[in-house]
Amino acid sequence: MADIDGIGSTRPGHYGAQGTGVVLARATIGAAWNVQGDPRHAPFVAAAERQVGLAPVAQPNACARREGLLLLWLGPRSWLAIEGERTALTDADVARDALNAAGGALFDVSSSRVAFTLRGAKAADVLASGCPLDVDVRAFAPGTCAQSVFGHLNALIYRHDPATFTLMVATSFAADAWHALSVAAAVDGYDVVPAAPFRP
Amino acid sequence: MMLIPCPWCGPRNQVEFTYGGDATVERPADDAPMEAWFAYVYLRDNPRGPHDEWWLHSAGCRSWFAVRRDTRTHDILASAPVGEPLGERAP
Amino acid sequence: MQKFRLATGGDIDRGHPVRFEFNGAPLEGYRGDTLASALLAHGRHLVGRSFKYHRPRGIFSAGAEEPSALVQIARGARTEPNARATVVEVHDGLVARSQNCWPSVRFDLGAINNVVSRLIPAGFYYKTFMWPPTPAAWLRYEHWIRRAAGMGRSATSADPDRYDQRFAHCDVLVVGGGVAGLAAARAAAGGGARVIVCDETPRWGGLARRGASSVPIDGAPRGDWIDTCVDDLAGAADVTMLSRSTAFGYYDGNLVGAVERVTHHLAAPLPPFAPRERLWLIRAKAVVLASGAHERGIAYPDNDRPGTMLLSAARTYVERFGVRPGTCAVVFANHDGAYDDALALRDAGIEIAAVVDPRDDAAMAGVDVRRARDAGLPVHARSLVLRAHGGHRVHAVDVAAREGGKSQRIDCDLVCVAGGWSPAVHLFSQARGTLRYDEAIAAFVPDASPLPIVAAGAANGCFDDALLAADGTAAGEAALALARGASPSPAAVARPPRAPGAAPVEPLWTVPAPYGAKRFVDLQNDVTVDDVALAKREGYQSVEHLKRYTTLGMGTDQGKTSNVPGLALMAAELGTTIPAVGTTTFRPPYTPVTMGAFPGAHTGPHVEPVRRSAMHAWHASQGARFVNAGLWKRPHSYPRTGESEDDAARREAINVRRNVGVVDVSTLGKIELQGRDAAAFLNRVYINRFDSLAVGRCRYGVMLRDDGMVMDDGTTSRLADTHFLVTTTTVNAVRVMQHFEYLLQVAWPTLEVYATSVTEQWSAAAISGPRARDVVAALVDLDVSNAAFPFLAVGACRVRTADGEVPGRLFRMSYSGELAYELHVPTVHGLAAWEGIIAAGAPFGLMPYGTEAMSTLRIEKGHVVVGAEADGRTTADDLGLGKLVNAGKWCVGKPLLGRPALVADDRWQLVGLTAQHGAVMPRGGKLVADPDRAPPIPMQGHITSWCESPHVGAWIGLALLAGGRARHGETLWAVSPLADQRVRVTVGPPAFIDPEGTRLRG
Amino acid sequence: MRYSAFSLAREALRGHRDWPRAWRSPPPKKAYDAVVIGGGGHGLATAYYLAKEHGVSNVAVLEKGWIGGGNTGRNTTIVRSNYHLDANAHFYEFSLKLWEKLSQALNFNVMYSARGVLNLVHSPADIDAAMRRGNAMRLNGIDAKFMSREEIAAWIPNLDCSPHARFPVLGGLLQPRGGTVRHDAVAWGYARAADALGVDIVERCEVQGIRVEGGAIAGVETSQGFIATPKLGIAVAGHSSHVAAMAGITLPIESHVLQAMVSEPVKPILDTVVTSGAVHFYVSQSDKGELVMGGDLDFYNSYAQRGNLPVIEHVVAACLALFPSFGRLKLMRTWGGIMDMTMDGSPIIAKLPVKGLYMTGGWCYGGFKATPASGFLHAHTIAHDAPHPLNAPFTLERFAEGRMIDEKGAGPYAWAH
Ligand SMILES: Cc1cc2nc3c(=O)[nH]c(=O)nc-3n(C[C@H](O)[C@H](O)[C@H](O)COP(=O)(O)OP(=O)(O)OC[C@H]3O[C@@H](n4cnc5c(N)ncnc54)[C@H](O)[C@@H]3O)c2cc1C
Ligand SMILES: NC(=O)c1ccc[n+]([C@@H]2O[C@H](COP(=O)([O-])OP(=O)(O)OC[C@H]3O[C@@H](n4cnc5c(N)ncnc54)[C@H](O)[C@@H]3O)[C@@H](O)[C@H]2O)c1
Ligand SMILES: Cc1cc2nc3c(=O)[nH]c(=O)nc-3n(C[C@H](O)[C@H](O)[C@H](O)COP(=O)(O)O)c2cc1C
Ligand SMILES: [Zn+2]
């Protein structure tokens, strides 16, 4: 399959068909911590809340949010705290020690993922080009997250509102993910806008 | 494209999962005799019908969990987190 | 001149002529035409040649079931073989050609096969071509057989078009947009369901879309009902309508694959970013199968002459496309339903020369039969068509009474056959639905499925126009209930509703014929009634043997019009019933699907994703040659202008031993562990101990599979009391992580250990060489003197980069055998840190090196690699690492290590090899005692890794050799018959440099 | 009636009315000297060689469905002997030698097409492994040739040999004598030849139980009643575990589904068998013109004879990555077969721990090419109650002893082989 001229470029501008089905942008991540522990273990929950500023939610795929900071459910004993600008999440080693002491764990994974935001009427369609999740709002509510795949890549998806998603993939796949998003978006046309810090 | 019910994330497309094999073989104690380890590592009932097996939600919550699946039809009869019994009905 | 185009009628747009080309001739059709209808408008029936006998073939159907009219579409890279003329929509610039014929479709040399056809009945090739008795002889026969077979031609350059994919979800998926499907969709949508309805054609309404049938729906004329229904659905928020979309397969979990043809019908220039096709993966809670039915033929001699078509198809051409497929027709039909169609042809100005019906007058009781008789159609009851006349076009048929007697020749240029209908049950059957043979329509109909699928309309065996919409509605409601959780039960599947007194079809599959007359059952694969009889005679009687022996139903149409007649003929041969013979298996795809549609965008360079390290762009800018390592691209070497890759690698390796080099090791798997029991866990996973590892230190470790073989190796560092960093090999990173998770969650859930992969978090560079310390000292804020930061030390540090100071982790470990450090920084800073290393190293002669130099260095040092030395069949002891297996503790894999063959003396063990007399070590060489023996020559071992060692000044290698540890000093042959190389090699210990490790400790 | 061009011509004149049944369809007798379970290639070949080589012709082959309806009738027809490990190499080379003469031996054209099997290599490590294997083959007396990228590009013009490919073709290991054999013909040819030697082939006869008396085989319970026999051979491929369990034996085997697929037929476009380990793909073109393709397992235990879309997507993606010009061909049919995957990826052709009970099974992806040798050696083992040197390594006990024959080094994970 031949690549289409220009599609896949990260430079701001309009690409693909006429019209703008979706606006694509890279979202920069300031800090991201993987918090792990048993949510039924009160000292862990307390320590996590103290260190991260948000209490881990036990509900699968739920998120907790605070100004600029998002805590996403990753698994029954695992969460991801993420912020676009490094403000709340400061000293990972101190937080780690505190959590280890409380029977939990904390890993600095600030560089592990790259994030892309998809905004617009066709955002759900672009996602559906590679993601088997039901992205209907009735099945995937704003303010929640899900892990799945996008094409061949494992993906973590956060839905901001009905027409806005952030897709996160492993850093080393950044170029591939961007390419896949661009190709899917080209059918209905898309704009690329400059990278901006992630905001939940 | 099986729809595999992760006990945590709910029913998800099979592409999100990694297969882990027979869940009925019990891991022997460290000091169990070599024969027990041999059976655990090599021998399989390999049933034609309901089969209890491990799956990892590798593109999801990274939980291992048990699934009871009919190997003749691929119908999934039940799933359960590690340590919990597999019920008779789909979750 | 479209001589056969009717002045009015049909769903074509006479205001929009389109120009296309067929066999080089420019022709005109109208928007809305298929290639078949446009050809028929010009009176062209001869379209192609058959598979085996190269007989002239025409247009048999008007839809997806077409067996005969296969053409080659377009030219060059966009050429597509085996397109069905009956579904190809004409557009300006369409180019089509007859296929499987040479030099032309009118005069085809391959038709010689027809002349010798008696010599080549079904399965003839199993009986001959065995002489002379050599494999080469068959290859020569095969060469010609292959050329005669095949059909169209593949393109020979890359498909330039793009394909998309889309996942979709709904409560009810309706397959088929005929009356039944539309009614079902409306019922389901009306109940609040999310509905997707797809139809493979461009128009909604299915067969009912044709003409103005007298039977109204819900009191409205059919066309109006369809239009209203389509408008309602299109306007509904939760309904998606996919036209030109074929549901091709039903998969587990109620996932239906469908393929949408997005641009096939469009003339160039195509919309610039539109995909050619889109693959829909539709997860439905319930499915309504309203896919209609396929009419079937009757096998009489020469029933394949162009001008022979299904009766319903002839009507479709008249009413849907405004084309008369002939001027004078003979209709050969065995059921009442045909008479309405015959009348419709007559109304379009086609003379009906005869309606030939095998039934007794008494059985022909339907109103339409009476209407036909009243209208003066010459109906021949109890009669058969005994054969057709004509070559490139039928011009007459012989008709005779059923009981025999003299036949009558009736001139005609069109023969319309109506042998009954077979419901399109394919997806129902794929959904594990059982089929039931319905005598009344002489066809298999859906019975029951354990899955939530409901058949409706003709697919359900409901052939009565008056009942279709109701059947569809009932199916839509049943599907909605299934989607809401009702469990599938046989009762949920509506029985084919049938008006009381509807006359049954009288099955008629063939007519008597003399030997040699060809009565085709499968038009595409040239399977005849005699072939079925031959299969029976020779014992290929199971329906599956019949299929495979004769190739019945194995063509591109998958036997849609021929399977039931074929198995009925076998039943007759065996004197048994049709259900006793049964059907063959309905497999996806329902109709052939463009291969390009399956991977969508994931092909070519994107067939698998690529992982790139943070330094990738830098490597590329420095002219690195990349190699695949798992999904990663790693620099193999950095050739300078005029330098070969091998030369570059040698230079890089030498520079490490002399000065200092840096290699990107970001791709190594990295797993962090925390928790109270992390050390205990590592003790159980690795053969060696980790509880004794001090904070700030690292240690090499080996882990085994449960069967005792080496699984992976790497280093583990203790970053804090309860915090470890484990590295794995690049290729095994994912596997090791899963292994850890399995052990932690399933095997030892009581251990308090948390693991996360940090492969992506940390970019890593290994700096090695005698001057490594100078470089590192210039970079980090640690005291890196030997005393302060000895071998195997680990420490957090700050790294000076152009971005400013960034956090890092420094490790003193060595793969090359030199003084070496590994520096890890967060991946956001990976590139900056790398550039910092390059800059800091410049005064010390630092060069980047790639995997090839890295390999040379580690071979010289005798370090094993998982995948080469540890090949999945080796134990730690085989690799000389047996001493690491800690006697005092248990670990994964240990219990089975004691098996007799794993402790035998003659196991292949790791050794070092040096080629004698400056010879080149053979790649993949085998170790033998005597290369001059006649094969089989016993092999004592093989070379696992090898290189030209700048340090040793000879070609060296690592090898696995039977009992090798006891054979140091021996001379053996290393041979590569593939490369015609044989070399004398000396066996020795695996380490060629600094076996005491003074360099790396220095 | 012997098959030949002459008999074909003679029958053409007679309206092909005199061809006899290729094999009879007798009701089963009450007892046989030996019974073989499974009317696939292996079972039929076992019976044929029992009669032909060992004079044991009072034999029945019991098939629950129709002969050749198992994996014999649903495989991608590749035959080769390009193995690395000695036991495999000797065994499969023996098989290939039998293939070379099989049409004549059976008087049934099985269409052994020695068109070559080419394993592509895509990385330096691939080259090393291919060279090691090829050298082992040559030393074992098996034909093998390493082809450069340029040679391959010239030979297979549709293959993308550009250095920029995602998996660039760096070369390939060719076994010229490898190729394809017409799958159905193998079952039918063996059946006809065995039948001619007196073997009873009983279709629609499912073995439902194995009667063991005093530690020895007494016979089998079938859907057509009890059949007595002192010697019982199991050749049921994907159903090995199920049948062995009837005699109380648990095997180191799991059943998995492997899919295969064909494109629509086209004129000759690919003249050899091309495989790629890195992209998990293999393809050849049948004499009828379809591209016959396959890839990986579906990776979960299954007896369903059908798989799922992801594997099909993957196989087709791999095909198009290697052959970009095939993109507009259409996929015509897909299906699946049940693979008996052993824990080391190699077969078991051996005596089982019940007197008079034998098996040939554990074929994984690759048992079609083994058919003649498997039948030959299984028959030998049954007739002599002891293995032939060629199948002596393929025991059931090898796992307990640590003598795995793990060609891929993938370890005791059935689906990994
Ligand atoms: C998709 C696919 C592709 C493959 N490609 C290749 C390839 O390219 N090259 C290659 O060498 N190999 C290939 N194989 C493997 C190969 O097909 C098989 O290993 C081989 O055909 C096995 O032959 P068999 O006679 O042992 O088994 P089968 O042909 O499966 O015969 C076993 C028979 O036993 C019968 N049976 C089972 N249980 C009972 C019972 N209780 N009673 C009576 N009968 C019973 C079954 O009905 C069946 O007919 C492939 C397999 C598949 C599925
Ligand atoms: N006269 C007779 O005896 C007789 C017999 C059978 C049918 N019929 C006629 O057939 C019609 C039956 O109506 P219906 O609604 O059941 O069927 P239909 O044939 O009108 O509609 C079925 C639709 O499904 C589509 N389709 C089929 N398979 C598909 C797939 N896999 N994916 C996507 N689309 C697919 C077809 O393109 C078609 O448009 C009536 O008009 C009836 O008169 C008549
Ligand atoms: C080598 C090979 C070639 C095949 N070619 C065709 C073919 O040309 N047409 C076809 O319909 N099926 C073809 N098949 C598939 C069979 O129709 C059938 O799907 C397969 O034997 C499995 O049987 P089942 O689908 O009845 O379960 C082929 C199968 C094999 C093994
Ligand atoms: Zn989950």
| Contact yes or no for A61 and B9 at CB 8 A | yes
User: In which domain, by residue range, is A185 found?
Assistant: 20-28+112-193
Question: Is the same domain home to A124 and A188?
Answer: yes
Structure confidence at residue A36 (pLDDT):
98
Strands (E), C600-668: 625-629, 632-637, 660-664
Is residue B90 predicted with pLDDT exceeding 50? no
Phi–psi pair at C964, nearest 5 degrees: -60, -35
Burial (CB < 10 A; 0-12, 13-18, 19+), residue C580, is exposed
Determine the angle formed by the axes of helices C529-537 and C543-550, rounding to 10 degrees.
120
Residues 6+ apart with CB under 8 A from C264: C88, C89, C244, C276, C277
Residues 6+ apart with CB under 8 A from C306: C45, C46, C47, C56, C57, C58, C59, C390, C392, C393, C394
Evaluated on CA atoms D392, D394, D397, D401, the torsion sign reads: positive
**Is the separation of the CB atoms in C47 and C69 below 8 Å?**
yes
Final residue before a domain boundary, out of A108, A124, A151 = A108
Residues 6+ apart with CB under 8 A from D14: none
| Contact yes or no for C826 and A111 at CB 8 A | yes
With bands split at pLDDT 50, 70 and 90, how would you rate the model's confidence at C115? Answer: confident
B50 touches chain A (CB under 8 A): no
Q: Please give the tally of structural domains in chain A.
A: 2
**What's the CA-to-centroid distance between D322 and ligand 2, angstroms?**
39
**Minimal CA–CA distance to D173: which of D53, D87, D273?**
D273
d(CA C964, CA C908): 7
Question: Is the same domain home to A58 and A82?
Answer: yes
pLDDT tens profile B46-79 = 999 999 999 999 999 999 999 999 999 999 999 9
Looking at domain B15-24+49-82, its CATH architecture is: 2-Layer Sandwich (3.30)
H or E stretch at D363: none
pLDDT tens profile C374-410 = 999 999 999 999 999 999 999 999 999 999 889 999 9
What is the overall mean pLDDT for chain D?
A: 97
Closest ligand 2 atom, residue C199 Cα:
34
**What's the CA-to-centroid distance between C229 and ligand 2, angstroms?**
16
Q: Which of residues 124-163 of A touch C (CB under 8 A)?
A: 125, 128-134, 136, 139, 151-153
D387 lines ligand 1 (CB under 6 A): no
| Contact yes or no for B3 and C253 at CB 8 A | yes
pLDDT tens profile D60-103 = 999 999 999 999 999 999 999 999 999 999 999 999 999 999 99
Q: Which of residues 142-161 of D touch B (CB under 8 A)?
A: none
**What's the CA-to-centroid distance between D69 and ligand 1, angstroms?**
8
**Minimal CA–CA distance to C424: which of C477, C381, C460?**
C460
Token pair, residue A178, equals 């961007």
Q: Which of residues 104-143 of A touch B (CB under 8 A)?
A: 132-133
DSSP for C877-932 reads TTTT-GGGS-TTS--TTGGGTTSGGGG-TTSEEEEEEEEGGGPPPPTT-EEES-TT
ipTM above 0.85, yes or no: yes
Structure confidence at residue C366 (pLDDT):
85
In three state form, how does the secondary structure of A112-181 look? CEEEEEEECCCHHHHHHCCCCCCCCCCCCCCCCEEEEEECCEEEEEEEEECCEEEEEEEHHHHHHHHHHH
Query: Closest to D332 (Cβ–Cβ): which among C152, C592, C975?
Result: C592
**What's the CA-to-centroid distance between D401 and ligand 4, angstroms?**
39
**Is the separation of the CB atoms in C114 and C55 below 8 Å?**
yes
Ligand 3, residues C151, C552, C554, C562: which to mutate, most atoms within 8 A of Cβ? C554
Number of C-beta neighbours around residue C405 at 10 A? 8
Cα–Cα separations (whole angstroms), residue C196 to B72, C233, C243, C784: 29, 10, 11, 67
Pairing of strands B64-70, B76-81: antiparallel
Q: Neighbours of A (≥3 Cβ pairs closer than 8 A)?
A: B, C
Evaluated on CA atoms B53, B59, B61, B62, the torsion sign reads: positive
DSSP for B30-74 reads TTS-HHHHHHHHH-B---SSEEEEEEE-TTTT--EEEEEEETTT-
Is residue A4 predicted with pLDDT exceeding 60? no
Question: Is the same domain home to A119 and A97?
Answer: no
Local structure of residue D14 (DSSP, 8 states)? T
Structure confidence at residue B89 (pLDDT):
46
Structure confidence at residue C887 (pLDDT):
86
| Contact yes or no for C157 and D325 at CB 8 A | yes
Q: What is the dihedral of CA D72, D75, D79, D83, to 10 degrees?
A: -110
Phi–psi pair at D89, nearest 5 degrees: -60, -45
Half-sphere exposure at residue C290, Cβ-oriented, CA atoms within 13 angstroms: 38
Structure confidence at residue C500 (pLDDT):
65
Question: Is the same domain home to A119 and A188?
Answer: yes
d(CA D26, CA D227): 14
Is residue C215 predicted with pLDDT exceeding 90? no
C450 touches chain B (CB under 8 A): yes
Structure confidence at residue C365 (pLDDT):
85
Whose Cα sits closest to atom 22 in ligand 3?
D74
Residue D33 lies inside a defined structural domain of this protein: no
Question: Is the same domain home to A130 and A141?
Answer: yes
With bands split at pLDDT 50, 70 and 90, how would you rate the model's confidence at A1? Answer: very low
d(CA B16, CA C797): 38
d(CA D51, CA D197): 6
Question: Is the same domain home to A118 and A179?
Answer: yes
**What's the CA-to-centroid distance between C171 and ligand 4, angstroms?**
23
Q: Minimal Cα–Cα distance from B55 to chain D, Å?
A: 10
Q: Which of residues 18-47 of B touch A (CB under 8 A)?
A: none
Cα–Cα separations (whole angstroms), residue C188 to C293, C452, C454, C480, D8: 22, 14, 12, 6, 60
Determine the angle formed by the axes of helices C337-347 and C367-374, rounding to 10 degrees.
30
Residue D221 lies inside a defined structural domain of this protein: no
Chosen for mutation from A73, A147, A169 (greatest number of chain B CBs closer than 10 Å) is A147
Residue D337 lies inside a defined structural domain of this protein: yes
**Is the separation of the CB atoms in B74 and D304 below 8 Å?**
yes
Question: Is the same domain home to A67 and A164?
Answer: no
Final residue before a domain boundary, out of A50, A83, A108 = A108
**What's the CA-to-centroid distance between B58 and ligand 4, angstroms?**
8
> Region C524-543: what's the mean pLDDT?
97
Question: Is the same domain home to A24 and A117?
Answer: yes
Q: What residues flank ligand 3, with Cβ below 6 Å?
A: C 554, 558, 584-585, 587; D 73-75, 77, 183, 262, 286, 288, 290, 292, 305, 332-333, 335
**Is the separation of the CB atoms in C392 and C362 below 8 Å?**
no
Helix (H, G, I), strand (E, B) or coil at A51: helix
Ligand 1, residues D335, D368, D407: which to mutate, most atoms within 8 A of Cβ? D368
Pairing of strands C195-198, C239-242: parallel
**A78 to chain B: nearest residue by CA?**
B61
Is residue C242 predicted with pLDDT exceeding 80? yes
D267 touches chain C (CB under 8 A): yes
| Contact yes or no for A171 and C614 at CB 8 A | yes
Burial B18-55 (b: 16+ CB within 10 A, else e): bbbbbbeeeebeeeeeeeebbbbbbbbbbbbebbbbbb
Q: Minimal Cα–Cα distance from A67 to chain C, Å?
A: 24
Q: How far is CA C773 from the centre of its chain?
A: 53
Q: What is the pTM of this model?
A: 0.97
Token pair, residue C630, equals 């798992």
| Contact yes or no for A175 and C761 at CB 8 A | no
pLDDT tens profile C268-310 = 999 989 999 999 999 999 999 999 999 999 999 999 999 999 9
**Minimal CA–CA distance to C341: which of C379, C363, C311?**
C311
pLDDT tens profile C244-266 = 999 999 999 999 999 999 999 99
**A154 to chain B: nearest residue by CA?**
B59
Alpha helices, DSSP H, located in C406-500: 426-430, 468-483
Q: Please give the tally of structural domains in chain D.
A: 1
> Region C43-57: what's the mean pLDDT?
94
DSSP for C68-110 reads S-EEEES-GGG-EEEEETTTPBP-TT-EEEE-S-SB-SSSBGG
CATH of the domain at D141: 3.30.9.10
**Is the separation of the CB atoms in D42 and D378 below 8 Å?**
yes
User: In which domain, by residue range, is D259 found?
Assistant: 113-178+255-341
d(CA C44, CA C37): 9
Q: Is C845 left (phi over 0), alpha (psi -120 to 50) or beta?
A: left
**Is the separation of the CB atoms in A176 and A8 below 8 Å?**
no
Percent above pLDDT 70 for chain C: 98
Strands (E), D160-280: 171-175, 179-180, 200-202, 207-213, 216-222, 225-228, 232-234, 253-263, 273-276
pLDDT tens profile C66-89 = 999 999 999 999 999 999 999 999
Residue ranges of domains in chain C, CATH in brackets: 13-114 (3.10.20.440), 166-293+423-493 (3.50.50.60), 297-419 (3.50.50.60), 508-597 (1.10.10), 670-760 (3.30.70.1400), 901-1001 (2.40.30.110)
Rounded to 5°, the CA angle C790-C795-C800 comes to 110
Question: Is the same domain home to A120 and A101?
Answer: no
Whose Cα sits closest to atom 43 in ligand 2?
C465
Chosen for mutation from C760, C809, C824, C825 (greatest number of chain A CBs closer than 10 Å) is C760
**Is the separation of the CB atoms in C507 and C579 below 8 Å?**
no
> Region C412-438: what's the mean pLDDT?
97
Cα–Cα separations (whole angstroms), residue C155 to C592, D57, D268, D315: 17, 53, 12, 19
Structure confidence at residue A2 (pLDDT):
36
Whose Cα sits closest to atom 19 in ligand 3?
D335
D28 lines ligand 1 (CB under 6 A): no
Evaluated on CA atoms C470, C475, C481, C483, the torsion sign reads: negative
Final residue before a domain boundary, out of A108, A137, A172 = A108
Residue C900's identity, in one-letter code, is P
Structure confidence at residue C367 (pLDDT):
87
Structure confidence at residue C486 (pLDDT):
85
pLDDT tens profile C187-204 = 999 999 999 999 999 999
With bands split at pLDDT 50, 70 and 90, how would you rate the model's confidence at C1? Answer: confident
C505 lines ligand 2 (CB under 6 A): no
Token pair, residue C315, equals 């009507």
Rounded to 5°, the CA angle D120-D121-D124 comes to 170
pLDDT tens profile C977-995 = 999 999 999 999 999 999 9
Alpha helices, DSSP H, located in C149-295: 179-190, 222-235
With contacts defined as CB-CB under 8 Å, which chain A residues touch C606?
Answer: 1, 176, 179-180
Determine the angle formed by the axes of helices D371-384 and D183-196, rounding to 10 degrees.
30
Question: Is the same domain home to A82 and A125?
Answer: no
Q: Which of residues 153-182 of D touch C (CB under 8 A)?
A: 157-158, 160, 164-167, 177, 182
Rounded to 5°, the CA angle D196-D197-D203 comes to 65
Phi–psi pair at D134, nearest 5 degrees: -60, -40
